[in-house]
C-alpha cells in the first residue's frame, strides 16, 4: 500500500480504522477539481456501497454494488475491502471524425478490491471508479480466482440512490418497440424501467445523465426504479437463462453518470468516449463522413415498395436519377434499399430469405455502381436482416465482399423485429449452428453480433450505420467505422402519422439519446409532408436539425423532386459539414430548445443552428466563439413571421445576410416547432 501522504496528494484517502474490528474501512477519492467526492464502504450487512457528493452536497446516497448468480450464492453480501490502488490520467486524444477533433481526458481513478468471506466462497470482486470533473464512471473487474471460472449472471444489482428531487426525461426499457418511443417527462420517482441514457434535472439545477460506456460482450442494462428515487441496473435478457455468461477474468462495461451545472455541461461532455478503448483499427482514412440522399422516403411513405413489383423503388433507372441529383447537389452518397432479393414475403421479424448478394431483376448493381463512380458518387449499401442474425451472420461477409468490390464503403444495416425477436442459432458469432434462439436487441448475444459485424465490415473497409441497433456506448472510439445508428424514433415516424414525433421530440433527443452518440435521424423532409399528414416542424427546423442532431453521415430524406423545389434551403444543405473541429451547445434547455455552434473541420466556417419545441421564444445568440479580429458573413435561415408547425404557416421561412464578429449578439425568433440555421464565412 502507498504511504498515506502520497495517497492524499492523489486525492485519495484511506481512513485508518481506529479499532480494526469495529470500524469499517472506507475508501474515498475525488475528481481533479475536487467538486465530486466518492466514498466506498461496506455497510452493516457487509455489502459493498458507493456514494457521491458534489460541491459538498450528497448526490448519490450509499448505493449497493454486486451480482446475482444463477449457479451460486449472490455476490452482494459478506464482503470486506481488502485494498485499493489509485491512478490518474491527463491526456488529449484526437478523433478521426466527430463533433470535435480533440477530446480532453482528465481524471482520478481508484480501484477498490473486495473479498467475500469464507462462507461465500472467498470470491474476489474489484471495482474501478474514474472521477472526472463532469461525471463518474465505474466498472466491475472480476479477477482470475480459484473456485470461480465462469460467472453466470442472473442480474446485476448496481444501485443509484439519487438524493435531490427532480424531473426525468426517459423512454421505457424492454418494451415492444425497442428504443423507438416518445420521451416521457415525469418526476424522478415516477420513472418505471427506463432505457439509458436517462436525463434528469434536479431541483438545484444540477443536470444528470445515467448511461454506460464500452458495452462489449455483456448485456445492455435498463435503469429500473426500485423505490423512491433509488434505481438499479437490470440486464437485458438472454435465451441462455443467465443474462450474461463470462469467463474470468473480465470487466463489465462502465456505469456512467454525467454531472453538470447546466444543459451545456451535460451535452459538451465526452465521459463515455473517454471510458472507451482507443482506436483498434489503425488507419481509418477509408471512413468518410458525408451527406447522402436515398431511395427510401418513398418506401417509408408507401408510394414505392421494397418488394419487387410495379411500385418497386430500387430500379436501375431511378437510382441513376438519384446519382445525377447527388452529383449536382454535392451529396457523397445515394442509399438504395430494396435492391436485393428477400423483401417479397413477410420479412418483418423473419428475414430468412434476405440475400445480401443477389439483386432484383430490375436493379443492375454493377451498372449502377459504375455509373456512380463516373459521377463521383458512392452507392450506400443496405443490409436489412429482419432481426434474423442467423441468416445474416452466415452471409454478411459475402455481402461486404461484394460491396467492397463495387466500391461501396458505407452500409446501413437493420434489425426490424419486436422486442425479444432477434433470431439467432449460435451461442456466439462464428459458433456451431444449433437450435433457434430468440434474443433481445440489447442482450449479450446481439451486443456480440454488432461488434462481429463492425469488425467484419472493417476488414472490407466498410463503415456501418445500424438501425434497430443496440444503444451507443461510445464504441466508435475503438471502432471508428461504426459511424452512426438509429436507436430512437427517427424521421420515419413522421411519414406514418400526423405530428407523429411531436414538436418536443427533437429538442428532447438532443439531451437524451444524443448523449450516447451520432444518430442517423434522416432530416431534410423539406416538403414537410408525411403520408398521413404534415410534420410537426417548420421549414427552418428541417435545416436546424443538421446542427442539432449530429451524425457523420447525414441524409436529406425527401424525394429529389421535392428537394428541387427549395433551392434556397438546398443552398444550406449543400454546404453543411458532417465533420466538425468543435461543437458547443450555445443556448438550450432540456426538452425545450437546443442551439449549437459547430466549426467545420475542413474550412474556417462556423455553423449555428438548432431546434425548438412547441413554445415560441426569442433566443439571443452570442458570437463569442468566433475568431477575434475577423468579420464573418452570416447567412441566416429562420422561421418567418407567423410560422408555426400547426398550420400551413409551417412553410414560412425568412432569410437574412449580415456581418458579425466575435462578441456580437443576434436575436432569433423560434416558431412553435421551429428552428434556425446560420452559416458564418470569414469575409
Ligand atoms: C427501419 C429503418 O429504420 C428504416 O430506415 C428502413 O428503411 C426499414 N427499417 C427497412 O429496412
Ligand atoms: Ca427504425
Atom 3, ligand 1: residue with shortest CA distance: 467
pLDDT at residue 154, rounded to an integer: 98
Ligand 1 atom 11 nearest Cα: 384
* pLDDT tens string 71-129: 999 999 999 999 999 999 999 999 999 999 999 999 999 999 999 999 999 999 999 99
**CA 558 / ligand 1 centre spacing (Å):** 15
What Cα–Cα distance (Å) separates residue 46 from each residue in 115, 117, 431? 10, 9, 41
CATH 2.70.98.10 in the chain is located at 3-274
Nearest to 232 by CA among 172, 192, 181: 192
- The whole model's pTM is what? 0.96
Provide CATH 3.20.20.70 ranges for the chain: 279-294+333-487, 510-683
Q: Report pLDDT for 426.
A: 85
Question: C-alpha 606: how far from its chain's center?
Answer: 24
Q: For the domain made up of 510-683, give the CATH fold.
A: TIM Barrel (3.20.20)
Q: With cut-offs at 50, 70 and 90, classify the pLDDT of residue 24.
A: low
Nearest atom in ligand 1 to the alpha carbon of residue 382 is: 11
C-alpha closest to that of 313 among 326, 333, 299: 299
What SS3 state is found at 434?
coil
Distance from the alpha carbon of residue 176 to the mean position of ligand 2, in angstroms: 13
Report the atom number in ligand 1 closest to the C-alpha of 468. Answer: 3
Q: What is the pLDDT of residues 315-360, one digit of tens each?
A: 999 999 999 999 999 999 999 999 999 999 999 999 999 999 999 9
> What spacing in Å lies between the alpha carbon of 235 and ligand 1's midpoint?
26
Confidence of residue 495 (pLDDT cuts 50, 70, 90): very high
Q: Which ligand is located closest to the Cα atom of residue 387? A: 1
Q: Tell me the C-alpha distance between 645 and 508, whole Å.
A: 17
The active-site residue out of 272, 393, 486, 492 is 492
- Exposure string over 554-574, b if 16+ CB within 10 A, otherwise e: bbbbbbbebbeebeebbebbe
What CATH number should be reported for the domain whose range is 279-294+333-487?
A: 3.20.20.70
Atom 6 of ligand 1: nearest residue by CA position: 414
Contact (CB, 8 A) for 416 and 384? yes
Which of 302, 418, 467 best tests ligand 1's pocket when mutated (most atoms within 8 Å of CB)? 467
In this structure, how many other beta carbons lie within 10 angstroms of the beta carbon of residue 71?
10
Ligand nearest to the CA of 465: 1
Q: Is 93 left (phi over 0), alpha (psi -120 to 50) or beta?
A: beta
Q: Is the CATH number of domain 3-274 3.40.50.2300? A: no
Q: Distance between CA atoms of 592 and 303, rounded to whole angstroms?
A: 34
Q: How far is the CA of 414 from the centre of ligand 1 (A)?
A: 6
Average pLDDT of the segment spanning 216-232:
98
Has 561 been annotated as catalytic?
A: no
Query: Is pLDDT above 50 for 7?
Result: no
If you measure from the C-alpha of residue 442 to the centroid of ligand 2, how many angstroms do you get, rounded to a whole number? Answer: 15
Other C-beta atoms lying within 10 Å of the C-beta of residue 118: 8
User: Which ligand 1 atom is at minimum distance from the Cα of 384?
Assistant: 11
Q: Which residues line ligand 1 (CB under 6 A)?
A: 296, 337, 384, 414, 416, 467, 486, 492
384 alpha carbon, closest ligand: 1
pLDDT (tens digit per residue) in 507-566 = 999 999 999 999 999 999 999 999 999 999 999 999 999 999 999 999 999 999 999 999
623-676: per-residue pLDDT in tens?
999 999 999 999 999 999 999 999 999 999 999 999 999 999 999 999 999 999
* Residue among 305, 335, 337 to mutate when testing ligand 1 (max atoms within 8 A of CB): 337
Q: How far does the centroid of ligand 2 lie from the alpha carbon of residue 182, in Å?
A: 13
Ligand 1, atom 2, residue with closest C-alpha: 467
Residue pLDDT, tens place only, 44-72: 999 999 999 999 999 999 999 999 999 99
Residue 197: pLDDT over 50: yes
At residue 21 the predicted structure's pLDDT band, cuts being 50, 70 and 90, is: very low
Amino acid at each position: 500500500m502507498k504511504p498515506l501522504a502520497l495517497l492524499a496528494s492523489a486525492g485519495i484517502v484511506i481512513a485508518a480504522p481506529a479499532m480494526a474490528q469495529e470500524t469499517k474501512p472506507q475508501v474515498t477519492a475525488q475528481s481533479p477539481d475536487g467538486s465530486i467526492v466518492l466514498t466506498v464502504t461496506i455497510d452493516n450487512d457487509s455489502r459493498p456501497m458507493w456514494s457521491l457528493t458534489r460541491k459538498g452536497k450528497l448526490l448519490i446516497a450509499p448505493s449497493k454494488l454486486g451480482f446475482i448468480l444463477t449457479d451460486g450464492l449472490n455476490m452482494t453480501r459478506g464482503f470486506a475491502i481488502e485494498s485499493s490502488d489509485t491512478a490518474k490520467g491527463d491526456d488529449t486524444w484526437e478523433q478521426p471524425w466527430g463533433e470535435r477533433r480533440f477530446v480532453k481526458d482528465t481524471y482520478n481513478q481508484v480501484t477498490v478490491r473486495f473479498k467475500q468471506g469464507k462462507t461465500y466462497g472467498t470470491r474476489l470482486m474489484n471495482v474501478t471508479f474514474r472521477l472526472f470533473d463532469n461525471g463518474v464512471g465505474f466498472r466491475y473487474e472480476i479477477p482470475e480466482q480459484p473456485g470461480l471460472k465462469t460467472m453466470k449472471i442472473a442480474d446485476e444489482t448496481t444501485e443509484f440512490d439519487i438524493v435531490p428531487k427532480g424531473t426525468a426525461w426517459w423512454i421505457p426499457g424492454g418494451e415492444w418497440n425497442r428504443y423507438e418511443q416518445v420521451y416521457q417527462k415525469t418526476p424522478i420517482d415516477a420513472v418505471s424501467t427506463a432505457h439509458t441514457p436517462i436525463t434528469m434535472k434536479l431541483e438545484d439545477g444540477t443536470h444528470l445523465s445515467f448511461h454506460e460506456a464500452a458495452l462489449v460482450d455483456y448485456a445492455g442494462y435498463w435503469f429500473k426504479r426500485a423505490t423512491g428515487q433509488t434505481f438499479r441496473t437490470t440486464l437485458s435478457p438472454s435465451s441462455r437463462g443467465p443474462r450474461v455468461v463470462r469467463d474470468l477474468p473480465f470487466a463489465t462495461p462502465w456505469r456512467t453518470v454525467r454531472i453538470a451545472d447546466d444543459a451545456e455541461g451535460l451535452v459538451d461532455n465526452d465521459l463515455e468516449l473517454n471510458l472507451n478503448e482507443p482506436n483498434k483499427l489503425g488507419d481509418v482514412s477509408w471512413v468518410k463522413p458525408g451527406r447522402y440522399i436515398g431511395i427510401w422516403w418513398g418506401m417509408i411513405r408507401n408510394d414505392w415498395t421494397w418488394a419487387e413489383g410495379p411500385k418497386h423503388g430500387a430500379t436501375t433507372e431511378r437510382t441513376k436519377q438519384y446519382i445525377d441529383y447527388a452529383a449536382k447537389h454535392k451529396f457523397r452518397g445515394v442509399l438504395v434499399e430494396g435492391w436485393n432479393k428477400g423483401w417479397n414475403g413477410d420479412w418483418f421479424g423473419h428475414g430468412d430469405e434476405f440475400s445480401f448478394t443477389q439483386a432484383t431483376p430490375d436493379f443492375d448493381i454493377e451498372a449502377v455502381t459504375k455509373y456512380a463512380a463516373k459521377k463521383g458518387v458512392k452507392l450506400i449499401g443496405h443490409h436489412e436482416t429482419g432481426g434474423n442474425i442467423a441468416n445474416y451472420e452466415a452471409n454478411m461477409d459475402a455481402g461486404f465482399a461484394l460491396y467492397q468490390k463495387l466500391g461501396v464503403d458505407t452500409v446501413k444495416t437493420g434489425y426490424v423485429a419486436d422486442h425479444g425477436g432477434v433470431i439467432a442459432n449460435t451461442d456466439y458469432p462464428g459458433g456451431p449452428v444449433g437450435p433457434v434462439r430468440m434474443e433481445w436487441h440489447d442482450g449479450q448475444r446481439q451486443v456480440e453480433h454488432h461488434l462481429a459485424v463492425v469488425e467484419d465490415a472493417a476488414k472490407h473497409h466498410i463503415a456501418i450505420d445500424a438501425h434497430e441497433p443496440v444503444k451507443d456506448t461510445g464504441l466508435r472510439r475503438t471502432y471508428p467505422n461504426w459511424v452512426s445508428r438509429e436507436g430512437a424514433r427517427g424521421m420515419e415516424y413522421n411519414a406514418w402519422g400526423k405530428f407523429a414525433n411531436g414538436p418536443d421530440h427533437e429538442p428532447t433527443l438532443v439531451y437524451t439519446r444524443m448523449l450516447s452518440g451520432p444518430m442517423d435521424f434522416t432530416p431534410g423532409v423539406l416538403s414537410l409532408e408525411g403520408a398521413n399528414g404534415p410534420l410537426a416542424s417548420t421549414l427552418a427546423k428541417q435545416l436546424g436539425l443538421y446542427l442539432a442532431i449530429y451524425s457523420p453521415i447525414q441524409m436529406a430524406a425527401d424525394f429529389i423532386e421535392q428537394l428541387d423545389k427549395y433551392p434556397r434551403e438546398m443552398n444550406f444543405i449543400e454546404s453543411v459539414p458532417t465533420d466538425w473541429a468543435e461543437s458547443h451547445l450555445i443556448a438550450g434547455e432540456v426538452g425545450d430548445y437546443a442551439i449549437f455552434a459547430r466549426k467545420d473541420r475542413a474550412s474556417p466556417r462556423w455553423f449555428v443552428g438548432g431546434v425548438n419545441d412547441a413554445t415560441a421564444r426569442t433566443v439571443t445568440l452570442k458570437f463569442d466563439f468566433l475568431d477575434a479580429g475577423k468579420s464573418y458573413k452570416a447567412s441566416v435561415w429562420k422561421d418567418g413571421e407567423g410560422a408555426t408547425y400547426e398550420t400551413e404557416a409551417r412553410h414560412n421561412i425568412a432569410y437574412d445576410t449580415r456581418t458579425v464578429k466575435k462578441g456580437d449578439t443576434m436575436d432569433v425568433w423560434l416558431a412553435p416547432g421551429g428552428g434556425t440555421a446560420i452559416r458564418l464565412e470569414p469575409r
